[in-house]
Amino acid sequence: MAAARRGIIAAAAALVAAVALAPGARGVERGEFPPGFLFGAATSAYQIEGAYLEDGKGLCNWDVFTHTHAGNIMDGRTGDVADDHYHRYMGDVEILQSLGVNAYRFSISWARILPRGRLGGVNPDGISFYNRLIDALLQKGIQPFVTLHHFDMPHELEARYVGWLGAGIREEFEHYADVCFRAFGDRVRFWTTFNEPNLFTKFMYMLGAYPPNRCSAPFGSCSSGDSHREPYVAAHNIIMSHAAAVRNYKDNYQAKQGGSIGIVIAMKWYEPLTNTTEDILAARRAQSFELEWFLDPIFFGDYPTEMREILKSNLPTFTAEEKKLLQCKADFIGINHYTAIYAKDCIHSPCSLDTYEGNALVFATGERDGVKIGGDTALGGFYVVPQAVEPAIMYVNQRYKDTPVYISENGYSQWSDASREELINDVKRLNYLQGYVTYLSKAIRFGLYHVDFDTQERTPRMSARWYRSFLTGSHSAGMADEAQERRADS
């Protein structure tokens, strides 16, 4: 998690400087980064907290989904216990301090704060938990970077509003955000309203892979839903929920609390599959349906023209009142960047359109002429392409000028069925981490510690030791040699 807090000019300069540190030249060191950068780690509530029914927490949508749709989860697990962070947070904060990070991005469980939304009242035990976590972080010199919504909401609200489809969810989110601002804002300086709404709306309402599991042909065969319309209705409500929370924070809290508020968007970098005009336009169109779908309304007041031309009446229209609310701008943009992929035009040539990019009339592929765009990871369609982070962030910088940009997520996914030795000695993650840091002087990583779900033991991976040495300045040539030896043996 990193950003130049002096604005877009400083950020752009830092990015350009980073490119000069080409991989292979020498190891990049923390001292080469401008002051004000935040280096951190990130998690989300449902994926780590556990304690899913303890201390007054209500059921969230993922609690119900993982218990009723086990087939949609790769290994059938639930988040009932997860990493047991709810009980082990003090030890986890010690781990963060040992890494040398100065920021920690985590999300708040909406169902732990408001188990039934506005109707049920605030859960004091939920407030107490996050107060303890925030205080523990600050005592260790670590800035809390708080996300209000990271895919999960109270199950009762999902049932009442079909997730983000009902306009009433806007008031629910604004109320939830206000409770958090009042409870934690005296110590939190960085607020994120939503994490990856451009991704989760597609997985909820287009592909049907996330709760409430809605989709239609050709994207899927859910029992209900409309893949051509519902993702955009949900997105519209999310954009307006974000805008309402931003206005409330700026009108009632920011001057006194001194924080900032933004939104985090998932961003692949799309490269044209060929140098044809059609594929070049396809890559540009894919970006409109990915990044600009949310950021253009937030910063410019309306959806991209490319989306309106293709989606027509399926894309909602902002009312005059909604456009007025959108005039209250976010303070920063968070980008979750993991990969690059090739974009093929599907307007002038036949394609399969039942995929993530299909609504943009684009087919995405990781191969060109039999050669992959980068190394494989455990996630299909995610490749190791560290050089892509530079044009991705520069694109955001140039389009949304004068807005600080944070890399809020970036990391390497590992196969869960690997041996424990492979999981701990994670050479590929180490190389991924080193490559991305070197290319763009920006870093955040998931999976630095291996958690044994049976014993809950935390074991630092090789990549965690490299990240710690990078952040603390105790550069270990021995570790680099060890990694090189393991590469030779692999």
Comparing CA positions, the residue from 180, 74, 175, 90 lying closest to residue 135 is 90
**CA–CA separation, 142 vs 18, rounded Å?**
25
Q: What DSSP state is assigned to residue 444?
A: E
**CA–CA separation, 57 vs 54, rounded Å?**
6
**What strands, in cross-sheet order, belong to the sheet with 340-345?**
269-272, 340-345, 362-365
- Helix, strand, coil % over all residues of the chain, rounded to 5: 45, 15, 40
Neighbours of 95 (CB within 10 A): 17
Residues in a beta bridge with 334: 264, 406
Extract the tokens encoding 193.
Answer: 């309203």
Give the 3-state DSSP-derived string for 260-309, with helices as H, strands as E and coil as C.
EEEEEEECCEEEECCCCHHHHHHHHHHHHHHHHHHHHHHHHCCCCHHHHH
**CA–CA separation, 135 vs 183, rounded Å?**
12
SS3 label, residue 380: coil
Taking phi first (over 0 means left), then psi (-120 to 50 degrees means alpha), and beta for anything else, what does residue 183 get?
Answer: alpha
Is 409 marked active-site? Answer: yes
- Given the structure tokens 């029992």, which residue do they identify? 223
- Angle among Cα 405, 410, 414 to the nearest 5 degrees reads 175
Is 156 marked active-site? Answer: no
- Name the amino acid, one letter, at 141: G
Neighbours of 157 (CB within 10 A): 27
Extract the tokens encoding 62.
Answer: 């993922």
Alpha helices (H) along 100-196: 110-113, 124-139, 155-161, 169-184
Q: Check: CB of residue 162 under 8 Å from CB of residue 231.
A: no
Neighbours of 34 (CB within 10 A): 15
Q: Check: CB of residue 63 under 8 Å from CB of residue 151.
A: no
Q: Which of 49, 158, 172, 196 is an active site residue?
A: 196
Q: Pseudo-torsion of CA 44, 50, 52, 53, nearest 10°? A: -140
Q: Which of 49, 156, 306, 409 is an active site residue?
A: 409
**CA–CA separation, 127 vs 408, rounded Å?**
24
**CA–CA separation, 199 vs 231, rounded Å?**
10
**CA–CA separation, 240 vs 237, rounded Å?**
5
Extract the tokens encoding 133.
Answer: 């976590």
Residues marked as catalytic: 196, 409
